[in-house]
Structure 1
Amino acid sequence: MQKHFIGGVIPGAIIAQDVYGTDGVLLIKKGSMFREHYIPRFIDAGVQEIFIEENGSMTPETVNTIRKSLNIQDVIHEKTRAHAQNQIKKTMMKFKAVSSSDIQRVGQMVEEMIEQLLDKKDFVFALSQLRSVDDYTYQHSVNVGVLALIIGIDLNLNKEQLRHLGMGAILHDIGKIMIPEEIIKKPAKLTSDEFREVKKHTEYGYDILIQTNIHEEAALIALHHHEKYDGTGYTRGLRNTKIPLYSRIVAVADVYDAMSNDRVYQRKSAPDKVFREITHQGDKHFDTQIMETFARHINIYPTGTGIILNSGHRGIVLYQNKLYPESPIVRIFLPKEQNPKRLYFDMDLSLNTKYYIVETFS
């Protein structure tokens, strides 16, 4: 660490020691990121010098500090997400005794999500960071519901249609309650027999939902969300527009969220790798129009993602670039030996085509 006059500290520098005023009051904690508006407050408190980290290289502490400062927000309220996950969990734990009143409560949560999404003039989907393997099914259900609704809004579905889509999306995996837990939570590749058993969850789900007061189009999502556009999916091997629209939407949302998160048998992939894998499958597995809509609302490089450029420089994503999603605005960190007076610089990759992202890290 090194002592600096506060007027010469570069915004973004990491503070190396707790900073106290002359009256002994703590002004800011060690590890915080220095901001320009701190200067008058420090001067008023009698502070003229502070210690900062000597270089701006990518340390885990630096990354975490910047991520916190970026105020990354979910597309729905945190309370709504938690309530929805809890309601899905309660519903699925009822096993075969899922009732119309359970479905009604889920419907109320879906309506709340719709209102929050319609309230936003512009949104991109970033996965919730609070994930656990044990609660994967419930978290996955909510994420699929949110992403399906975002796609549905872009496709100009009306509120009633959005409600049916959201209900079916959030309950698309309810049939898994009929699959033995040792198969669902098996931490290894399934045998052929086990996979055949898992595939039955689509029919089980439809049978459970159709016995409640849920709309049939919503129930059909449970049956058809594993169908593929080229007819190679299951349960019925439907092709093209023979697959109901809502199921085509949920198929994309389901695969994206599943690949983006840790499961009992497989580690997650980075968002950019998932995006490329899904778009590579293209019209083979998915409806092209839905894929294009999906692409408009996905953060290929979510805010806070660690990145490595083709030049070898390391940095972190600050903001998305709506017109050029593969070229976000990034903060690049410089080793002290390369430039002792500058800790970092910000770059819009869409304006600097010489540089591009070759790898991401968490």
Structure 2
Amino acid sequence: METLSIDSLKPNSSFTGDLLLDSSFLLLPKGADVNESLIKALKTWNVEHILCDGNLSIGGEIEETPIELEPSSVIQHTEEKISVNIKKVIENSKQSIFDSSEKARLNSVHEVYEEYMNYIERVFTHYSTHKVIDQADLSDAVQQLCVFIKENRRYILRLAQNPKESDRNFIVVHAMRTTVFAIAIAQQLKMPLSKMIDLGVTCILHEIGMLRLPPQLYNTSKKLTSGQRAQISRHTVFGYTIIKDLNFPIPVQLGVLEHHEKENGMGYPRRLPGEKIEPIAKIISVACSYEAISSPRTYKDERTTFDALLEMIQNRERAYDDVVLKALLYTVSLYPIGTYVYLSNRKIGVVIDSNQKNPKCPIVQMITEKEADGSPKTIQTSPELSILRILSKQEKEDILKVVESKESAMDQAKKIAQNNEVAVNTASAQKPVIQKAQSIASLEKVSVSAAASSPSAGQSSENSTEEVDISMFE
């Protein structure tokens, strides 16, 4: 394998073998043309030498070998079309809008959410094995997602805000959550559908350069060395190279390349100032960072979406675009959708929607109360009926266990009634329901209020809205 100096690279040159940064990292496949942006990127990262498993040939004399798929691969790729999987699940979910409970609708949206993650996983797997991405299919999938998020915004944001433990590759989970947040932000900004599709495609693919890195670099639980961090930071250039070679539109290429650039000019790979950053990349930067802060990783603990939002809107280093930050705030509210909260009336609820007039006062669904028709009771919070603080992870888990137990007892009582059991048996079956309801009331008034009055709660950022200044966004 031959070692080449970066100074020896010339635009429009190609190689008879693969071009590598070292023995593990593929930079360009054989036959691909070197361009000025690639040379500039390598110099920016102070890469002085590269490896080549072949000879240098000026003028593109070596033809690039076309990728041929086996018949079975073509069939597999056809099965991945959106018309076969995602559309079917979306169509099924539409029934829940008319004839299902709130819980059933949330479950149906969850099915769509999971199917999109399956789809993203297949896109990455298919690229890894065949170096092909069906752009038309991907754009169609994103367009369907844009419509679905618009119709089910508060449900899908509730799911995205509360990721469950999963065996999926974190890149897939990160891509899905980031895409949901970014599209919701774009809808808040009234972005045209065509540009929103480019944004969604870019979001799904923005970490594709990670596929050129060893998994142990980004899946490790150990603190990274400066050299390892430098290797990971190259994923933007790797991703740009992949997307460019696949002939994606320029905004998508630049979005992948620039999603880690910062408004203050301290981002990477090119340290661009805010005015030179691709608009798509600005939205992904905010959505990507918000997702990363609030998501568990092997090397750090999970933080609440509330804490993540506070860190973002403070924007101490002026890293993010203020317009995009304001859109995020008004999209998810100060207390993000899906957050469990303790109210000034000493009751507990979960934030289910934002308030476009005041992000401090979102719409909250009460945990134990129902309307006359049996649907969950919702309230509009206000300065008079305000959120005192968010619940801790343990408090949330304890309450959900009690609620689940209550619902199970109620379902059991309904089944007994439907089976025409005698009145005494029905009354006996309903007794645990009353006990469970009483235990929930006790939990609301004792366990949670006690935590609210503890010294640690007074010090926490989870305590009160009065410490949060959002006047710059009003």
CA distance in 1, matches of 2:232, 2:116: 24
1:162 matched residue in structure 2: 196
1:61 matched residue in structure 2: none
Letter in 2 for 1:109: A
Contact 1:260 1:271 in 2 (8 A): yes
CA distance in 1, matches of 2:329, 2:380: 20
CA distance in 2, matches of 1:201, 1:76: 35
Letter in 2 for 1:95: S
Letter in 2 for 1:184: Y
Report how many aligned residue pairs link the two structures: 281
Contact 1:306 1:314 in 2 (8 A): no
1:179 matched residue in structure 2: 213
Contact 1:307 1:316 in 2 (8 A): yes
Superposed displacement of residue 71, structure 1: 2.9
Q: Where is the helix percentage greater, Structure 1 or Structure 2? A: 2
Matched, 1:116 2:148: yes
1:234 matched residue in structure 2: 268
1:190-209 aligned at under 5 Å gives the runs 190-209=224-243
CA distance in 2, matches of 1:303, 1:70: 15
1:315 matched residue in structure 2: 348
CA distance in 2, matches of 1:293, 1:124: 17
Superposed displacement of residue 354, structure 1: 7.8
CA distance in 2, matches of 1:72, 1:300: 27
Superposed displacement of residue 126, structure 1: 2.8
Residue deviations 1:109-138, cap 9 Å, x none? 111102223446888833434342643211
Residue deviations 1:179-238, cap 9 Å, x none? 111111101221111100100000000111111132121121111101111011111111
1:324 matched residue in structure 2: 358
- TM-score, scaled to structure 1: 0.68
Contact 1:164 1:218 in 2 (8 A): yes
Superposed displacement of residue 318, structure 1: 5.5
- Seen in structure 2, the aligned counterparts of structure 1 residues 148 and 252 have a Cα distance that, compared at 3 Å, is same
CA distance in 1, matches of 2:243, 2:191: 22
- TM-score, scaled to structure 2: 0.53
The structure 2 residue matched to 1:98, chosen from 114, 127, 131, is 131
CA distance in 1, matches of 2:315, 2:291: 16
Residue deviations 1:133-179, cap 9 Å, x none? 64321121112112211222222222221111110111110110011
Letter in 1 for 2:124: M
Percent of aligned positions that are identical: 22
1:24-43 aligned at under 5 Å gives the runs none
Letter in 2 for 1:188: K
CA distance in 2, matches of 1:352, 1:72: 32
1:86 matched residue in structure 2: 118
- Seen in structure 2, the aligned counterparts of structure 1 residues 259 and 121 have a Cα distance that, compared at 3 Å, is closer
2:329 matched residue in structure 1: 295
CA distance in 1, matches of 2:388, 2:273: 38
- Seen in structure 2, the aligned counterparts of structure 1 residues 318 and 70 have a Cα distance that, compared at 3 Å, is farther
Q: Give the secondary-structure state (helix, strand or coil) at the position aligned to 1:71.
A: helix
CA distance in 1, matches of 2:154, 2:258: 30
- Seen in structure 2, the aligned counterparts of structure 1 residues 280 and 109 have a Cα distance that, compared at 3 Å, is same
- Seen in structure 2, the aligned counterparts of structure 1 residues 279 and 76 have a Cα distance that, compared at 3 Å, is farther
2:305 matched residue in structure 1: 271
Mean CA deviation greater in 300-309 or 146-155: 300-309
Matched, 1:251 2:285: yes
- Seen in structure 2, the aligned counterparts of structure 1 residues 332 and 212 have a Cα distance that, compared at 3 Å, is closer
- Consecutive unaligned residues of structure 2, counting only runs of 5 or more, are 1-100, 369-376, 397-474
Which structure has the bigger radius of gyration? 2
Superposed displacement of residue 327, structure 1: 3.8
Superposed displacement of residue 247, structure 1: 0.1
Contact 2:179 2:200 in 1 (8 A): yes
**Structural RMSD (CA):** 3.2
- Seen in structure 2, the aligned counterparts of structure 1 residues 213 and 272 have a Cα distance that, compared at 3 Å, is same
Residue deviations 1:300-348, cap 9 Å, x none? 435664435689x573326545133334447599xxxxxxxxxxx9986
- Seen in structure 2, the aligned counterparts of structure 1 residues 130 and 139 have a Cα distance that, compared at 3 Å, is same
Residue deviations 1:273-300, cap 9 Å, x none? 1110100116701111111111111144
1:356 matched residue in structure 2: 388
- Consecutive unaligned residues of structure 1, counting only runs of 5 or more, are 1-68, 334-344
CA distance in 2, matches of 1:168, 1:248: 12
Q: Give the secondary-structure state (helix, strand or coil) at the position aligned to 1:268.
A: coil
CA distance in 1, matches of 2:230, 2:277: 21
Superposed displacement of residue 353, structure 1: 6.5
- Seen in structure 2, the aligned counterparts of structure 1 residues 318 and 204 have a Cα distance that, compared at 3 Å, is closer
- Seen in structure 2, the aligned counterparts of structure 1 residues 147 and 350 have a Cα distance that, compared at 3 Å, is same
Letter in 2 for 1:209: I
